[in-house]
Amino acid sequence: MNILIVGSGGREHALAWKIAQSPEADQIFCAPGNAGIAEVATCVDIAADAIDELVAFAGQNRIDLTVVGPEGPLSAGITDAFEAAGLAVFGPSAAAAEIEASKTYAKGLMEKYGIPTARGRAFSDPEKARKYIRTMEEPIVVKADGLAAGKGVVICSTRKQAQDTVKQMIQDKIFGDAGKTVVIEECLTGEEASFIAFTDGTHIVPLPASQDHKRVYDGDRGSNTGGMGAYSPAPVVDAVMQQKIMDQIMRPAVRAMAAEGRPYKGVLYAGLMIDKDKIRVVEFNCRFGDPETQPLMMRLKSDIVPLLRAVVHGGLDKCRIQIDPRPAVCVVMAAGGYPGSYAKGAGISGLANVRRMKDVAAFHAGTAAKNNEIVTAGGRVLGVTALGDDIVKAISRAYKAVEKISWKNVHFRTDIGAKAKKRLSAAPAVGIIMGSDSDLPVMSAAADLLKRFDIPYELTVASAHRTPERAGEFAETARKRGIRVIIAGAGHAAHLAGAMAAHTTVPIIGVPIDSSALSGFDALLSTVQMPPGVPVATMAVGKPGAKNAAVLAAQILALSDPGLEARMVSYKSAMADEVNAKARSLEG
C-alpha cells in the first residue's frame, strides 16, 4: 500500500514510525512532515490544510490510504473531499469532526444523549456571559468554542478573571473566530485521563488509557499548552473504570453521532475527569491525541495498518489489538518561552545518542533540517518516549534520554508520570477477587463503592478449582501487601470465598454470583455453608451483594480510620435524605 500521512507534529511522527513497521506499507509519504518523519517517510511540501493539493497529490501518486493527523483539516472537510474523489481516508467527516470543532455542539450532544459532562452554557453575547458568570461558584472554566490549538481553555480562579477572559475571547478576539462564542462551565475536580478508540461508526476498539500533562510547569502550574508529556497506562483507569467509560461515554457518543446523521468514523478521543467513582467528559477530540499518541504507539504491538483500513472499509469488529504490558512515558522537550513567543533555529545535539538507546524513541514535533543539522522549528520540539518494566523504570529511561539532548533555552517538565507513581504506591486496603472475568459486571458494583469511599483496592481473577495455587497465594500474601479485607465473588459451586478463608486470617466477604440455571442459589449455599472456624460473611446474590460487600468492608476499615468513618456517616445520611425526598414526593 501507498500511504499518505497529513500533518507535521509528534503525533504524525509516531504514526509514521508505527506504519513504517507494517509489511503492508510500501511507500509512505507525509505532508508536510518534519525532520524526524523524513527518516521513515518521504516528506512532501504541501501544507496540512491545502486540501485540494493533497487530493491531487493522492490521486497522482496512487495513494491507497490517507491518514489525517490534525483537527484543522478534518474540521475543514478533508475527509469529504478525499471521499468525493474516490480516495480512501482515515478520519471523520467535517460534520462528525464538529464534536471537537465546536464545544457548543459537543455540549449540546452530551446533554441531549445523557453523556456525563460539566454543567455549563454557551454565549456569543459578552454581557449575557458575564451575567451568567455572576451566578457561578469559583473557579470557573471559560472555553473558546472553536479550535484554538489546545490553548482555548482558561481555568479562572475568580469571577473577575472569568469576565476578563470572556472579553478577551469575544471582544478582543485573541483566538479569532474560534472565540466568538464561548462555553462557560463549572470547574470539574479529580484526575484527568485520555481515552482514545478506533471506531467505524458502529464498532469500537479502544486503546489503553493515557494521561496528558497540559500545564507548562511542574505541579500543573502555568499556562495551558498542547501537552507537555503523557504516559500510558493511566492507573486511574482500571478495568472497572474502563468498562464504565465504554458504557457511559464511548458507546453512547458513537450511537449519538449516528442518530444525529453524522456517523463517526476514525479515532475518537475523550478527555475525561475522574473523581472517585464518577466520570465526566471534559472534551471530545476528533483525532489522535498529541502527545498521548507517542506512548500509545510505543505500546501497540499489533500492526496498525489493518486497524486503519478496517475503520475505513469495514471489519473493525473482527480486529483485536495486542498491547505491550510495559508502561510508556513521553516527555515533551519545548522551546523556552512556549506556549508564548519562542525562538526557532537552535541546533539540537544528542539525538544520535538517544537513537542508540533500547526501547526509546525521540519523536519530532517542531524540527527542521538546515545545513545538515536538525534545528528547532516549533514550540513543542521533541517527544522523548520510553518503555519500562514498570512506570518508575519508564520514567527513569525517558529522562535519561532527555538528559542526552540539548539546545539553547530548552524547557521540559520534570514530573511527567508523578501521578501514576503516587497512585501505584498506595497499598490496597481491600482485595477483590473473582472466579472469572465474566464476573466483572457484578463485582464492579463493589469497586465503584470503594472508589466513592476513596479506598484503594486490588482487583484480580483466580479460580478455586482451575487455579487454586493462585487463589491460595493471593490470600496468603494479602496481609503483607496491606490488604485488610477480601471480597470474593464466584458462581456455580462458588468455593472461592471458602478457599480464601482457609488461607488467611484477613476477613473474607463472599458474593454469590448468578451464573447457572439455579439463579445463583447454588452459589449462595456454597458460600454461606462454611465449616466452623472458617467464616465467610456472605452477602446477597449479584450486584446488591457486591455493593453491600463494599459497604461492609468500608465499615470494617472505618473502625480504625476516623476519616473513613466520617465518609460512611455522610453516605448513610445521603441514603436517608434520598428516601425522605421520595417520601415527600409521594405524600405531595
CB 504 within 8 A of CB 486: yes
CB 206 within 8 A of CB 256: no
Q: Within 10 A of 340 (CB to CB), how many other CB atoms are there?
A: 9
Q: How far is CA 50 from CA 269, 287, 298, 582, in A?
A: 24, 18, 30, 59
Spatial strand order in the sheet of 278-285: 204-206, 191-199, 266-275, 278-285
Q: Is the peptide bond before 139 cis (omega within 30 degrees of 0)?
A: yes
| Beta strand spans in 27-75 (E) | 27-32, 42-43, 65-68
CB 92 within 8 A of CB 74: yes
Bridge partners, residue 191, by sequence: 274
Cell of 63: 495513494
Three-state SS for 469?
helix
The bridge status of strand 89-90 relative to strand 65-68 is parallel
Q: Within 10 A of 71 (CB to CB), how many other CB atoms are there?
A: 22
Q: Is 561 annotated as a binding residue?
A: no
Cell of 241: 473504570
Q: How far is CA 424 from CA 24, 345, 420, 427, in A?
A: 39, 40, 6, 8
Q: Within 10 A of 141 (CB to CB), how many other CB atoms are there?
A: 20
Q: Rounded to whole angstroms, how far apart are CA atoms 270 and 26? A: 32
Closest CA to 6 of 32, 45, 36: 32
Q: What is the DSSP letter of 560?
A: T
Q: Within 10 A of 32 (CB to CB), how many other CB atoms are there?
A: 16
Q: Rounded to whole angstroms, how far apart are CA atoms 317 and 205? A: 8
Residue listed under C-alpha cell 500543573: 220
- State the amino acid at position 441 in one-letter form: P
Q: Is 439 annotated as a binding residue?
A: yes
Cell of 400: 535519561
Report the first-to-last Cα separation within the chain, whole angstroms.
Answer: 69
Q: Rounded to whole angstroms, how far apart are CA atoms 333 and 349? A: 13
Q: Is 200 annotated as a binding residue?
A: no
The bridge status of strand 215-217 relative to strand 65-68 is unpaired
Dihedral of alpha carbons 171, 175, 178, 182, sign: negative
- Specify binding-site residues for substrate: 436, 439, 466
- Specify binding-site residues: 436, 439, 466
